[in-house]
Amino acid sequence: MSALNKIARTMLSNRRGILAADESIGTMSSRLEKVGVKPTEESRRVYRELIVTTPRLSESISGVILADETFHQKVSDGRTFPQFLDDIGILTGIKVDTGAKSLAGSPEEKITEGLDGLRERVADYVRLGATFAKWRAVITIGEGTPSDAAVRANVHALARYAGLCQEGGLVPIVEPEVLMDGDHSLARCREVTTAVLAELFEELDLMRVQLDGIVLKPNMVVAGSGSGEQPSVADVAAATVETLRETVPASVPGMAFLSGGQSPEVATQHLGAMQKLDPLPWELTFSFGRALVGPALETWRGDEGNRAAAQKVLAERAAANFAAR
């Protein structure tokens, strides 16, 4: 087993999942403001410390994805976040993309940036304790979108990122997110997700990415949030698994889904329903952001008196997803 495959298997092991706490400074700040917390470097640190110090987190969480700011910050006892996570048996991941920017030629679509200097940044992150990385590409469904240009540019960047991570010893989480925003049907989401994943795996092959040393982070196949269509849990689970079976080679050790704006409970139900569609050639787990930490942030609201209650809510969400696996 290669070193990369071993890390990927650990990320997917013991029915655990991954916690995405890597919101950019801008996104985290607006989420803090929404619950009445003044966004500062320190308030972002305190909130992330609340998350990682949740009692018994490692029973259901194998890895936490950090943003660069948090990666270099310290918990109250002086350990860095990666040192602290290592001490409690959780792998540290690092978001290495620098954000999704408007795509020239199709400005309503996005291209994710961050390849420049990535080799050197990967080396630094490895030295400071990271074992895996994340890069998120965003694909928009709309009238005339996604364009071929947006899909090709984004899967190319994902493959270049994945190759650089593997060269430096990090397992890349490869995340081509087909957004839920829009009034499209589940069938259209399936069609676009299939096309994006097919092109992604061609590009990963071209760039000689070792497939047993990645973790795929796909969207679930759902109807657009503005469509009014409400497919059943069983329908979403079946459409998602069928899409993945058609496109994802069995050499990929596993997938960790994003939640993408689904409610925490529904995301968990979908994850549970997919597990029942045996036999699956890969592990299926969660790598949720909002669906894991959203309720905890709402409970905390910046009040230290709410810390234990917020951690309890996070532990419950993590345990529910663990149970769904």
Catalytic residues: 175, 217
Query: Residue 3 or 171: which CB sits closer to ligand 13P?
Result: 171
Q: Which of 289, 313, 315, 324 binds ligand 13P (CB under 6 A)?
A: 289
Mark 122-161 with x for binding to ligand 13P (rule: CB under 6 A) and - for no binding.
Answer: --------------x-------------------------
Stretch that binds ligand 13P, among 160-168, 224-232, 252-260, 268-276 (CB under 6 A): 252-260
Q: What backbone torsions phi and psi does residue 126 show, to the nearest 5 degrees?
A: -65, -45
Torsion angle of C-alpha atoms 33, 37, 43, 45, degrees rounded to 10: -60
Residue 291 found at the interface with ligand 13P (CB under 6 A)? yes
- Distance from C-alpha of 324 to C-alpha of 318, rounded to nearest angstrom: 10
Residues forming a β-bridge with 137: 176
Residue 259 found at the interface with ligand 13P (CB under 6 A)? yes
Q: What is the DSSP string of 72-102?
A: T-B-TTS-BHHHHHHHTT-EEEEE----EEE
Which token pair is 231? 């497919």
Binding-site size, ligand 13P (CB under 6 A): 10
Residue 260 found at the interface with ligand 13P (CB under 6 A)? yes
In eight-state DSSP terms, residue 142 is: B
Residue 317 found at the interface with ligand 13P (CB under 6 A)? no
- Whether a cis peptide bond, with omega within 30° of 0, leads into 281 is no
Residue 270 found at the interface with ligand 13P (CB under 6 A)? no
Q: How far is the CB of 84 from ligand 13P (least distance, A)?
A: 20
Q: Smallest Cα–Cα separation from 165: which of 173, 156, 176, 177?
A: 173
Q: How far is the CB of 271 from ligand 13P (least distance, A)?
A: 11
- Distance from C-alpha of 193 to C-alpha of 179, rounded to nearest angstrom: 10
| Strand, coil or helix: 172 | strand
Q: How far is the CB of 288 from ligand 13P (least distance, A)?
A: 4
Q: Which of residues 200-239 bind ligand 13P (CB under 6 A)?
A: none
Q: Which of 16, 290, 317, 325 binds ligand 13P (CB under 6 A)?
A: 290
Binding site for ligand 13P (CB under 6 A): 20, 136, 175, 258-260, 288-291
